[in-house]
Amino acid sequence: MSNKPGIVVNGVSGRMGRMLVQVINASDKARLAGALERPGHPWIGKDLGLMLGGAANGITVSDDPAATLSDAQAVADFTAPAATVALAPVAMAAGCAHIVGTTGMTAADIAALGEAAQNGVIVRAGNMSLGVNLLVALTRKVAEALDADYDIEVIEAHHRHKVDAPSGTALMLGQAAADGRGVALSDAAVRGRDGITGPREPGSIGFTAIRGGDIIGEHDVMFATDGERITLRHVASDRSVFARGALKAALWAQGRPNGEYDMAAVLGL
């Protein structure tokens, strides 16, 4: 048995699940230790390699997290909020770092993950790419430098299958803008405008979500005032940027003290 850290992929049939398998298999620093799907999924009990359209790889897709995590050091989880919240205590009990990319969490979901992280390591980020995490730091800096005469708008675009809005990334960017400006995002956020909205509320941070086609993920943070505007932009053209971030987080998490971490900590930003 290799002594490289073993990573299990939850939601392995999904867009990110498939990409995580590719990135882990291509890495010389980690091994794919298992694959999970929800109970009732047609891949359960089948060989993962065959399900992905290639050669058999000896990994059987399972719906039993406790058994699958027993031989692993981390689980990469890009699924749905309920699935992620249910998996966290199982991962902690198995001594596995839980790498959470799932978005669309409620405050209660986030609190449940925080509680689970008292017993192990969770790394959670609405976007695991290096580029977006740099953009978050830049957004905070620009918001700090500009006064409230600069209207802040976060605009995001994603594929037609995405189920949550604003995106996890947009919320990270909005939070960074609010932190830079020294306001609470919950007070400043304006999500979606329709009808007679009245003029823009001074100091607000607006969110706009576009959904269409196969857009992987695009985010703009606009600072607009009379006579000029600054736009910070990130465009993801390949999901591997998220999967590579998750792999980096899984390796970084090994041996860390219990707690919940973000990608800024992983990347040293």
Ligand X SMILES: O=C(O)C1=N[C@H](C(=O)O)C[C@H](O)C1
Which residues belong to the annotated binding site for (S)-2,3,4,5-tetrahydrodipicolinate? 159, 168-169
Distance of CA 221 to the CA centre of its chain: 18
Partner from ligand NDP, ligand X, none contacting 37, C-beta within 5 to 8 A by type? ligand NDP
Q: Could you tell me if 211 and 142 are in contact, meaning their C-beta atoms sit under 8 angstroms apart?
A: no
The least CB distance from residue 19 to ligand NDP, in Å, is 8
Query: What SS3 state is found at 243?
Result: helix
Using alpha carbons, select from 262, 258, 265, 266 the residue that is nearest to residue 89: 258
Report the residue number, 140 or 162, with the smaller CB distance to ligand X.
162
Partner from ligand X, ligand NDP, none contacting 27, C-beta within 5 to 8 A by type? none
Report the residue number, 27 or 102, with the smaller CB distance to ligand NDP.
102
User: Which 119-178 residues touch ligand X, going by CB under 6 A?
Assistant: 126-127, 158, 162, 167-169
Q: How far apart are CA 133 and CA 241, in angstroms?
A: 11
* Distinct helix (H) and strand (E) counts, the chain: 10, 12
Beta bridge partners of 260: 122
Which residue minimizes CB distance to ligand X?
Answer: 217
Report the residue number, 13 or 208, with the smaller CB distance to ligand NDP.
13
Known catalytic residues are 158, 162
C-alpha angle with apex 138: 150 to 214, nearest 5 degrees?
A: 95
Asked if residue 217 binds ligand X (CB under 6 A), the reply is yes
Interface residues with ligand NDP (CB under 6 A) are 10-11, 13-17, 36-38, 41, 78-80, 83, 101-104, 125-128, 168, 242
Which phi and psi angles does 196 have, rounded to 5°?
-80, 90
Residues 167-196: x where in contact with ligand X by CB under 6 A, - otherwise, as a string: xxx---------------------------
Q: Please report the sign of the dihedral spanned by the C-alpha atoms of residue 39, residue 41, residue 46, residue 47.
A: negative
Residues that bind ligand X (CB under 6 A): 103, 126-127, 158, 162, 167-169, 217
